[in-house]
């Protein structure tokens, strides 16, 4: 969002300079005040969720619609856990729902140690899939602990050369090639990707016309219902929130630098002093 990379981001956040200079989509905090027509929240309520399209969560105060993607924060869940949950978990849930995963299906998650990937591994297991996770050497044990049945270390082996065939491949980091990946997709298999570009959109149209294998690329839709669903899984111990590092607000530049390495594990949390 800040760097405008890939270029498609600039169409949303400004061609030459960011239109939204206060970043941040996820938050967890306490309601300061409510509008006169708000019935379900009151001042002092602990809440968490998404700030919406205008962002702004990297600030002491953020304004959100009461009927938006916001929910009461359970007392059993910390602010750090709640703030790291919505975007990654609901993105993973949105894409996996497109594939309508059935128990026993083989699902591969590329980028399994990232924010979306750590949730995708767990959600695919929740839906009954046999999960193969792709990550680097240092994160093999982490993804196994999240429930992955098999792990491929991408520094040692290219999963597109695997003899195994998958019902679903979910590229949770937007770096895998559909053309290479489809050779390890079963007939009528589905390739999901968080990447979004005009070439990918064209590929998805062509794939739907000429073949039985599907390519799905989209902007994930976040709903209050999905937010309630993932928080219930967290409360039941069926979904784990992975936090790599926590930063104070004064250290935000280092948080950005770490995120931009492309090697963060799970989520980063920014803590504003109360």
Torsion angle defined by CA atoms of residues 213, 218, 224 and 230, in that order, rounded to the nearest 10 degrees: 50
pTM of the model: 0.94
CA dihedral sign, ordered 87, 245, 265, 261:
positive
pLDDT tens, position by position, 134-190: 999 999 999 999 999 999 999 999 999 999 999 999 999 999 999 999 999 999 999
For residue 231 the two structure tokens come to: 């928080």
CATH class (in words) of the domain with range 8-85+223-271: alpha beta
CATH superfamily, domain at 88-217: NAD(P)-binding Rossmann-like Domain (3.40.50.720)
* Predicted pLDDT at 208: 77
Of 212, 28, 192, 52, which Cα lies nearest the Cα of 123?
192
Of 216, 113, 111, which Cα lies nearest the Cα of 174?
111
Tokens linked to 239: 């979904």
Return the percentage of the chain with pLDDT > 90, whole number: 82
Are the beta carbons of 168 and 100 closer than 8 angstroms?
A: no
Q: Locate the domains of the chain by residue range.
A: 8-85+223-271, 88-217
Tell me: the pLDDT tens digits for 187-231? 999 999 999 877 888 888 888 777 789 999 988 999 999 999 999
pLDDT at 274 over 70: no
């Amino acid at each position: 969002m800040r760097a405008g990379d890939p270029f498609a981001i600039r169409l949303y956040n400004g061609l030459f300079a960011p239109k939204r200079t206060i970043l941040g989509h996820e938050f967890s905090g306490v309601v300061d005040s409510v509008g006169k027509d708000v019935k379900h929240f009151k001042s002092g309520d602990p809440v968490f969720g998404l700030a919406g399209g205008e962002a702004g969560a990297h600030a002491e105060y953020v304004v959100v619609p009461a009927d938006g993607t916001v929910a009461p924060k359970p007392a059993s869940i910390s602010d750090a856990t709640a703030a790291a949950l919505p975007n990654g978990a609901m993105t993973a849930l949105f894409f996996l729902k497109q594939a309508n995963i059935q128990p026993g299906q083989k699902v591969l998650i590329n980028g399994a140690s990232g924010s979306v990937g750590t949730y995708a591994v767990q959600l695919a297991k929740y839906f009954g899939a046999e999960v193969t996770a792709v990550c680097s050497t240092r994160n093999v044990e982490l993804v196994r602990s999240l429930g992955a049945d098999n792990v491929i270390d991408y520094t040692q082996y290219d999963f597109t050369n695997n003899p195994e065939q998958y019902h679903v491949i979910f590229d949770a980091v937007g770096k895998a090639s559909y053309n290479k990946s489809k050779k390890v997709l079963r007939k009528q298999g589905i390739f999901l990707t968080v990447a979004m570009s005009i070439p990918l959109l064209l590929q998805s149209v062509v794939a739907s016309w000429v073949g039985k294998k599907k390519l799905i690329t989209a902007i994930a839709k976040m709903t209050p219902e999905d937010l309630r669903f993932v928080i219930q899984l967290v409360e039941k111990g069926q979904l784990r929130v992975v936090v790599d590092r926590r930063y104070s607000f004064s250290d935000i530049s280092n948080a950005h630098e770490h995120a931009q390495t492309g090697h963060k594990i799970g989520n980063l949390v920014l803590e504003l002093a109360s």
